[in-house]
Structure 1
Amino acid sequence: MTHSANRANLHWSSPSNDGGAPVTGYKIEYKIGSGSYMTLITKATGTSYSHTGLLANTYSYRVYAINSAGIGSPSNEVSVVVAAPTKPTTPTVPEETETPTEEPEREGPKTHIPGFPDPARDPQYYVDRYNNEPEFTAWFDKNFPGESIYDVVGAIDPNEKKVITTHIPGFPDPAKDSEYYIYLYKSEPSFKAWFDENFPSQTIYALFGVPEPEPVPDATKCGAGTHLEGGVCVLDAEKGGGCLVATAAYGTELSTQVQLLREIRDSVLLNTDSGATFMAGFNQFYYSFSPTVADLERQSPVFKEIVKATMLPMLSTLPLLNNADSESEVVLYGMGIILLNAGIYLGIPVFSILAIKNRSKIQHFASQRQ
């Protein structure tokens, strides 16, 4: 694992034993300091991942392999300590604006072998051959010892650090990377004010050639039950636990179906003594199996669709609880909904079995008469 100012770059190898089924992805967990592990990503497809936006603290990570049988055991834990950057001294702005120093023109190919490189070919052609053809690599290293393929063919070295110059001498410091200054811009109001004053027509991201971040949503545009946190609309703190099975089935906690279940639980059941008592017992039973079911849903699209179909009767009948205005009505409506769902979930299979038996008897009777 490597890290820079506010980014941790994770790299891992595929497990030596995949259990007889190919690995389809990886789950990554992390924790901050001595806190509990949290899920960073549920299913990464490659063997590397970058965790950005880190602040000064200790970050620990572990990785799980996933195949059709489920999630494997965690990898060994790796940790990284992110230090807070030191604040730079405020650069002095000269009275007269100086013209930015232009980068010198890149020199053409340097070679002592006539005809190499062919000027009709793109320099990248030779770079690709050097990186992928051992014979060409050996030939080049023999004829150009100690020289870079990029310099010889006149290509741009992607690993060569670009020197950024501005009208302010000494800014930016070439010894510091772009993430250092972007971190300061986002966390130090005085530095942000100084930068915006001296670079009014340029953003900190454009100056360093870094992609602009996604626009931060307006807090007033976050829906009911959510709030703005770190530039993202997230759920408000819940009165109860999460609806794990429904969330896995419908893909997000903000889906209409999950919101319906949460509103009935928080606004109807938990506001009455009988409803709160029922939820306490139900939660002990529900959370004993729901994490396993939710994991199976995420791993099997077919199983997810079966769960969604199974939940339809419950989602259709639970809104009846919104008609309850008192403690006794909550109890009556609750018992009615339980009996109704029991009739649906048990009645349909029983009816199907009886229909099949009757059909078999009719066929058997018809065959005897013949």
Structure 2
Amino acid sequence: MDAKRSSTAATIADRLLAWYDVHARALPWRYQPGIAADPYRVWLSEVMLQQTTVAAVAPRFTAWVARWPDVASLAAADESAVMAAWAGLGYYARARNLVKAARAVVADHDGVFPSSEAALATLPGLGAYTAAAVAAMAFGERAVVVDANVERVVARLFAIAAPLPAARPAIRAATDSITPALRAGDFAQAMMDLGSGLCTTRKPRCLLCPIAEDCRGRAAGDPERLPVKRAKLPKPQRHGTIFWLENDNRILLVTRPAKGLLGGMRALPTGPWADTPPGIDGAPAAADWRMLDAHVSHGFTHFDLELRLAVAQAAGHETAAIEGEWWPVDDLAAAGLPTVFAKAADAMRRDR
């Protein structure tokens, strides 16, 4: 980096950190500017925040750390309880990897998180981003942290016009060029706060931005167009049936296979998810199934799902032969059903 570029990078970092010292968001996992955070809380929050909003995560994070306040307690937790506590946050492999990583920290690192980015990246489920975030925010290591907010800020700051995802190496290199050696964790969180509060997707508030005078996207007159995103392809449509089998005010629930979508989660029984409606194929038991008029729609990352709802009563003497567990209807909220099944349960109770 030449002297002029180095001076500009330092100025950007200094301005941003000064802004952050005044305007840092108060979040349940964050410590005051200048103070390294608890690695357990940083790690947990970063995993929870993947593909999930701060507003949705904050109350769930608070409840989680009240139940499992440190890595040792999470390592000792029953995995089914962890999966139930995760219900509704989506991307359920994250919860399974939380338990695996916690157990690895206890077994392989004497219950203490490794402090280097490289060592953190060896833990189950910690990709490059999460390892960098924990290293910077909890241990003060200089690491380059690029989430969606940082990506947007840097693409505009440097006017990186290549479309995503091809632009990501250039965005990371540009972020590296302005990341300071000291307070790298605060710098990363400042960039996130800037992207969340000022450098937003639409109508960025450039007049309030502490680094606006260095922003090439703003100088070009149209920062909102950056980063350039690839047009979304239409998602395929799949169809399925969810089965509501009831006996004595109890509902049949099953545990989904450990591998695959919603793996290891407690759920209502469902047949195949196919290109056409499968009817009662895959029903959990022979019964007098009745299809409801109600439908439940849910979007996954790679496809959209339209579900029909089927209801039946199970004779008491037959229930022992049906694989699964019988859960009180009035206590379904405690079952920790994933969102798609919680939607179906609500529709079943409303329309059956």
TM-score with structure 2 setting the length: 0.25
Query: Given the two structures, how large is their TM-score scaled by the length of structure 1?
Result: 0.24
Q: Identify the structure with bigger relative contact order (alpha carbons < 8 Å, sequence gap 6+).
A: 2
